[in-house]
Chain A
Amino acid sequence: MLAMMAAATACKKDDFLNVVAKGQVSDATVWASEGNADLFLNDIYDGLPNINQEYQLSEQYADNSFCGAAWETGQSVVRAGAISPSNVPTGPGANVGTNGGMWDWVGNYTKIRKCNTFLQKINENAANFSEDWLKKRTGEVYFLRALFYNYLLTSYGGVPIITVPLDNTSSDTLFYPRSTFDQTLAFIEHDCDSAALLLPSDVAKNLGGRPSKGSAVTLKGWVELFAASPLVNINNDLSKWAKAAATNKEVIDMNLYSLLPDYSNIWAQAYNDNDEVIFNREYVSVKKGGYREGYLGPVYVSGVQEGWGNLAPTQGLVDDYSMDNGLPITDPSSGYDDQHPYDHREKRFYQSILYDGAPWQGDTIKTRIGGSNQIDLGSTSDITNTGYYARKTIDESIKAQASIANATGGENYIYFRYAEVLLSYAEAQNEAVGPDASVYDAVNKVRIRNPAAPYLPSLPAGLSQSQMRDYIRRERRIELAFEDKRWFDIRRWNITSGSTGVLNTPEYGMEIRADATGKLNYTRVKIFTNIFYDKNNWMPIPQTVMDKNPQLKQNAGY
Chain B
Amino acid sequence: MRSNKTNFLFKKGRLLGIASIAGFLTTAFQPTQLAASPRDPFLTPQGKTVRGKITDDKGAALSGVSVMIKGTTRGTTTKEDGSFSIDVPDNKAVLEFSYTGFQTISVSASSQNLEISLKPAAGKLDDVVVVGYGTQKRTSVTAAVSTIKAADVAQKPVVNLSNSLVGRASGLIITQSSGEPGYDGSSISIRGVSTLSGNTTPLVIVDGVPRDFSRLDPNTVESFTILKDAAAVAPYGVAGANGVILVTTKKGKIGAPSLNYNGYVGIQNPTKVPTFVNSYQYALMRNEANKNDGLAPAYTDADLQKFLDHSDPDGHSDGHPLQDIIMPNRIITSHNLSLSGGADRIRYFAGIQYTSQQGMWSPTYLKKYNAMFNITADATRTTKVGLSVNGWVEDQHFPSQSAATIIGQAQRQAPTTPVYYSNGLWSGYIGQSLIGEIYHSGYQFNENPSYQTQFSIEQQLPFVKGLSLKAVVSYDPSSSMQRKYTTPIPFYNVDTTTNPYTYKEGIQGNSKASFWEYYNQTHAFTYQGYINYHNTFGKHDITALAVVENRIVKYEEFSAQRLNYSLDIDELNYGGSGSSDISNSGYSTLTKQLGYVYRLAYAYNNRYLLEASGRYDGSYVFGPGHRFGFFPAFSAGWRLSEESFIKDHIKWIDNLKLRGSWGESGALPYYIGTTTVADFNYLSTYGLYSNSAVLDGNITQGLSATRQGNPDITWEKAQKTDIGLEGSILHGLFGFEIDYFYEKRSNMLLDTANHLPAEYGLSVGQVNAGIMSNHGIDITLRSAHSFSKDLRLDITGTFTYARNKLLRFYETGATYNNPNRRETGRSLNTQYGLKALGYYSDADFNADGSLKSGEPVPTFGPVHPGDIKYADLANSDGALKPDGVIDANDQTVIGHPQTPEIIYGLEPHLTWKSFDLDILFQGSANSDIYLNSYFVQPFNASGSASELSFSQYWTPDRTNVLYPRLTGTPSPNNTQTSSWWVRNDSYLRLKSFELGYTLPAGMIRSLRIQGIRIYIAGQNIINWTPHMKEIIDPENSGSNQNYYQQRVFSFGANVTF
Is A1 an interface residue when CB atoms closer than 8 A count as contact?
yes
Q: Does A399 count as interface, using CB distance less than 8 angstroms? A: yes
Contact with A along B678-689 (1 / 0, CB 8 A): 011001111111
Shortest CB-to-CB span from B412 to chain A, Å, is: 11
A217 to chain B, nearest CB (A): 21
Q: Could you mark each residue 423-466 of chain A with 1 if its beta carbon is under 8 Å from any beta carbon of chain B, else 0?
A: 00000000000000000000000000000000000000000000
Interface presence of A325 (CB below 8 A): no
Pair A81/B861 contact, Cβ less than 8 Å: yes
Check: A180 CB closer than 8 A to any chain B CB. no
Q: Does B973 contact A (CB under 8 A)?
A: yes
User: Which residues from A are CB-within-8-Å of B859?
Assistant: 82, 84, 558
Q: Note all chain A residues with C-beta closer than 8 A to B969.
A: 70-71, 75-76, 379
Contact A546–B887 (Cβ < 8 Å) = no
- A13 beta carbon closer than 8 Å to chain B: yes
A190 to chain B, nearest CB (A): 19
Are B493's CB and A303's CB within 8 A? yes
B680 pairs with A24, CB closer than 8 A: yes
Contact B504 A17 (CB under 8 A): no
- A543 in contact (CB, < 8 A): yes
- Given the known inter-chain contacts A286-B580, A378-B298, A401-B509, please indicate yes or no for A176 contacting B757, CB distance below 8 A: yes
Interface centre among A9, A110, A209, A378, by most B CB within 10 Å?
A378
* Cβ < 8 Å to B, chain A residues 25-77: 25-27, 30, 36, 38-40, 42-43, 45-46, 48, 68-71, 75-77
Mark each residue of chain A from 267 to 301: 1 if its CB lies under 8 Å from any CB of chain B, else 0. 00000000000000111111110000000000110
A547 and B812 within 8 A (CB): yes
Interface residue ranges of B902-948 to A (CB < 8 Å): 939-942
Which of B529, B860, B888, B972 sits near A543, CB closer than 8 Å?
A: B888
CB pair B290–A550 under 8 Å, yes or no, is no
* Residues A399 and B511 in contact, CB atoms below 8 Å apart: yes
Q: Which residues of B contact A24 (CB under 8 A)?
A: 680, 683, 685-688, 706
Query: CB distance A378 to B295 under 8 Å?
Result: yes
Is A505 in the interface zone, CB < 8 Å from B? no
- Which A residues touch B812, using CB under 8 A? 544, 547-548
Size category of the binding interface on chain A: 35 or more
Report yes or no: A526 in contact with B295, Cβ–Cβ below 8 A. Answer: yes
Q: Are A380 and B414 in contact (CB under 8 A)?
A: yes
CA gap between A300 and B429 in the complex, in Å: 12
A25-B703, A109-B758, A401-B507 as given contacts; A16 in contact with B813, CB under 8 Å: no
Do residues A548 and B942 form an inter-chain contact, with CB atoms below 8 A? no
Chain B contact residue count (CB 8 A cutoff): 115
Residues of A within 8 A of B756 (CB): 166, 168, 174, 548
A64-120: which have CB < 8 Å to B? 68-71, 75-77, 80-82, 84-87, 105-106, 109-114, 117
Judge whether B972 and A548 touch: CB under 8 Å: no
For window 972-1028 of B, CB contacts with A under 8 Å fall at 972-973
A305 to B625, CA, bound (A): 61
Residue A208 at the chain B interface, CB threshold 8 Å: yes
Supposing A27-B684, A208-B696 touch, asked if A21 and B704 sit within 8 A by C-beta, the answer is no
Q: Which residues of B contact A399 (CB under 8 A)?
A: 507, 511
Is A85 a contact of B758 with CB atoms below 8 Å?
no
Q: A370-B497, A379-B969 are in contact. Are A43 and B760 (CB under 8 A)?
A: no
In the complex the two chains form, what is the Cα distance from A100 to B455 in whole Å? 53
Q: Which of B45-53, B155-163, B616-624 contacts A (4 or more CB under 8 A)?
A: B616-624
A302 to B492, CA, bound (A): 12
Encode B502-521 as 1/0 by CB contact (under 8 A) with A: 10111111110010000000
Chain A residue with Cβ nearest B504: A303
- Residues of B within 8 Å of A406, CB to CB, are 510, 514, 563
Q: Contact at B700–A39, with CB atoms within 8 Å?
A: yes
The answer to whether A317 has its CB under 8 Å from any CB of chain B is no
Interfacial chain A residues near B888, Cβ < 8 Å: 85-86, 543
Task: Give the CA-CA distance A25 to B704 in the complex, in Å.
Answer: 9
Docked pose: A53 CA to B583 CA in angstroms: 19
The answer to whether B9 has its CB under 8 Å from any CB of chain A is no
Q: Is the CB of B972 within 8 A of A303?
A: no
**Closest chain A residue to B431, Cβ basis:** A305
A519-556 interface mask toward B, CB cutoff 8 Å, 1 = contact, 0 = none? 00000011111010000000000111111111100000
Asked whether A8 is an interface residue with its Cβ less than 8 Å from the other chain, the reply is yes
Complex interface bits, A152-165 against B, C-beta within 8 A gives 1, otherwise 0 = 00000000101001
Contact of A42 among B581, B583, B700 (CB under 8 A): B700
Q: Is A402 an interface residue (CB 8 A)?
A: yes
Interface string of A396-407 (1 = CB under 8 A from B): 000101101110
Instruction: State which of B382-390, B586-594, B632-640 sits at the interface with chain A.
Output: B586-594
Interface residue? A5 (CB, 8 A): yes
Question: Is A372's beta carbon under 8 Å from chain B?
Answer: yes
Q: What is the CA–CA distance of A81 and B20 in the complex, to the nearest angstrom?
A: 78
CB of B431 to closest CB in A, whole Å: 4
Which residue of A14, A209, A547 is within 8 Å of B695 (Cβ)?
A: A209
B81 surroundings in chain A (CB, below 8 A): none
CB <8 Å contact, A382 and B625: no
Known A17-B619, A21-B683, A174-B757: A287·B583 in contact at CB below 8 Å: yes
Q: Name B527's contact: one of A4, A19, A45, A160 (CB within 8 Å).
A: A4
Chain A CB count within 10 A is highest, among B509, B548, B680, B760, for B760
**Interface flag for B759 (CB, 8 Å):** yes
User: Across the interface, which residues of A come within 8 angstroms of B286, CB to CB?
Assistant: 378, 380
- In the complex, are the beta carbons of A13 and B813 less than 8 A apart? no
Question: Is B548's CB under 8 angstroms from A377's CB?
Answer: no
Known: A17-B627, A106-B758. A306 touches B497 (CB 8 A): no
Which A residue's beta carbon lies closest to that of B428?
A: A305
The one of A80, A302, A381, A401 in contact with B971, judged by C-beta atoms closer than 8 angstroms, is: A80
* CB within 8 Å for A371 and B760 given contacts A401-B431, A401-B508: no
Do B511 and A40 have beta carbons less than 8 Å apart? no
Q: B587 touching A209 by the CB < 8 A rule?
A: no
Identify the closest chain A residue to B889 (Cβ): A543
Are B704 and A40 closer than 8 Å at their CB atoms? Answer: yes
Contact of A549 among B495, B687, B758 (CB under 8 A): B758
A9 to B548, Cβ gap below 8 A?
Answer: yes
Given the known A-B contacts A5-B548, A302-B504, A303-B493, are A22 and B588 also in contact in the complex, defined by CB atoms under 8 Å? yes
Point out the residues of chain B lying under 8 angstroms from A544, CB to CB: 758, 812
Q: Is the CB of B942 within 8 A of A36?
A: no
Complex Cα spacing A542 to B759, Å: 12
Return chain A residues, CB-CB under 8 Å to B860.
82, 84, 87
Check if A306 sits within 8 Å of B754, measured CB to CB: no
Q: Does B706 lie within 8 Å of A1, measured CB to CB?
A: no
Minimum CB–CB distance from B886 to chain A (whole Å) comes to: 10
A6–B754 Cα gap in the complex (Å)? Answer: 46
Distance, CA A544 to CA B701, complexed state (A): 32
Chain B residues with CB under 8 A of A287: 579-580, 583, 691, 699
**How far is A240 from B296 in the complex, measured between Cα atoms in Å?**
48
Whether A70 lies near B627 (C-beta < 8 A) is: no
Q: Does any Cβ of B come within 8 Å of A308's Cβ?
A: yes
Give Cα A498 to B1030, complex, Å: 43
Assess whether B620 is in contact with A17, with CB atoms less than 8 Å apart.
yes
Identify the B interface with A (CB < 8 A).
286, 289-290, 293-296, 298, 414, 416, 428, 430-431, 457, 469, 471, 473, 486, 488, 493, 495-497, 502, 504-511, 514, 527, 529, 548, 550, 563, 579-581, 583, 587-594, 596, 618-620, 624-625, 627-628, 679-680, 683-689, 691-697, 699-706, 708, 752-762, 764, 812-815, 859-862, 887-888, 939-942, 968-973
Question: Contacts A22-B589, A406-B514, A546-B814 given; 16 further ones with Cβ under 8 A?
Answer: A1-B527, A5-B550, A8-B594, A14-B618, A18-B592, A19-B592, A21-B680, A36-B703, A39-B700, A45-B693, A46-B693, A82-B972, A176-B757, A286-B580, A287-B583, A406-B510
- Complex A-B, nearest 9 residue pairs according to Cβ-Cβ distance, in ascending order: A113-B761, A304-B506, A208-B696, A1-B471, A303-B504, A378-B298, A70-B969, A82-B861, A45-B693
Q: List 7 interface pairs A-B (beta carbons < 8 Å), by A numbering.
A: A13-B618, A23-B687, A24-B688, A25-B685, A76-B971, A166-B760, A284-B697
